[in-house]
């Protein structure tokens, strides 16, 4: 999988889709999401929920 950055077209599309759903993500959480995506682990609802609970 391609290594994503804040400026990657793919990541910007994810942020755009979340914006359409009226979800805003802070810069700090964007970095955490990138780390999760780039780790190569399977992304599950539980991992995303854990990310938001830890802030």
Reduce the DSSP state of residue 23 to 3 states and report it: coil
pTM above 0.85, yes or no: no
Q: Are 40 and 4 in contact (CB under 8 A)?
A: no
Q: What is the pLDDT of residue 7?
A: 93
For residue range 2-42, list pLDDT tens digits in order: 899 999 998 898 888 888 878 778 888 888 888 888 988 78
Rounded-to-integer distance, Cα 17 and Cα 23, Å? 9
Residue 55: predicted pLDDT: 62
**DSSP string covering 31-50:** HHHHHHHHTTPPP-HHHHHH
Report the distance separating Cα 53 and Cα 51, nearest Å: 6
């Amino acid at each position: 999988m391609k290594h994503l950055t804040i400026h990657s077209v793919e990541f910007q599309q994810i942020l755009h889709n979340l914006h359409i759903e009226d979800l805003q993500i802070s810069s700090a959480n964007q970095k955490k999401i990138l780390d999760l995506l780039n780790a190569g682990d399977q992304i599950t609802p539980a991992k995303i929920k854990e990310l938001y609970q830890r802030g």
